Amino acid sequence: MPLIAIDFSLGNLTFTDNTCMHSTNPTKPNNYRDLLYMISESYANILNLPIFGYGARTSTFTNKTSSLFPISRSIRNPFTPNDPSVLDQTYSDCLSTLELSVPVNINPLMTFLKSIGLQVKQRLSRKAAHNHAIRDTVDSFYVLYVLSTGIIDDVAEVIKTVSQSEWSSLPI
């Protein structure tokens, strides 16, 4: 199962020509949209994709930058149908409600992924207690795609998080 994270930070501004790497115009080049399409095509057998954003202000009522938010804008359902037109519309709708911001922190994303991995591991352990044939097996795993300009402000925290020994046993 892919988990996709898209950078909506100020790092996406190109100061040489005063434009943004994000664009809702389908005729304008957009690497994020292209990568999203490529990833979704690779997982055509999955009906709904968990797609998150980071590095933006998600509300006009706060000055706080969100380090993890679903682009569906629904915390109850962070999944987006894996259909190119729906992906494009969801991406464009989300982009129109955001304000690019800083800092660019992805450690909350890594912590979230780790919690998913721990939940899957616990679920498998409960199953294995009833069926010893499936002990030490994995029935699903997650692949994290971080679409970014490369600017990350919390690199030290990310390294500390992912270097914890329990990661090696998670289905990630």
| Residues 92 and 73 sit within 8 Å (Cβ to Cβ) | no
Per-residue pLDDT at 147: 94
Task: Domain count for the chain, please give it.
Answer: 1
pLDDT tens per residue, range 55-82: 999 988 888 999 999 999 998 999 999 9
State residue 76 phi and psi, 5-degree precision. -75, -30
pLDDT-above-70 percentage for the chain: 91
Mean residue pLDDT across the chain: 87
Q: Which of 22-26, 99-103, 121-125 has the highest mean pLDDT?
A: 99-103
Calpha distance 35→58 (Å, rounded): 22
Q: Determine the structural domain holding residue 90 and report its residue range.
A: 1-172
Q: Where are the alpha helices (DSSP H) in 98-163?
A: 107-130, 155-162
Dihedral-angle region of residue 18 (phi above 0 means left; psi in -120 to 50 means alpha; beta otherwise):
left
User: Which band of pLDDT confidence, cut at 50, 70 and 90, is reported for residue 47?
Assistant: very high
Length of the chain: 172
pLDDT at res. 150:
84
pTM over 0.85: yes
User: What band does 39 get if pLDDT is binned at 50, 70 and 90?
Assistant: very high
CATH number for the domain that contains residue 163: 3.40.50
CA angle, residues 67, 71, 73, in degrees to nearest 5: 95
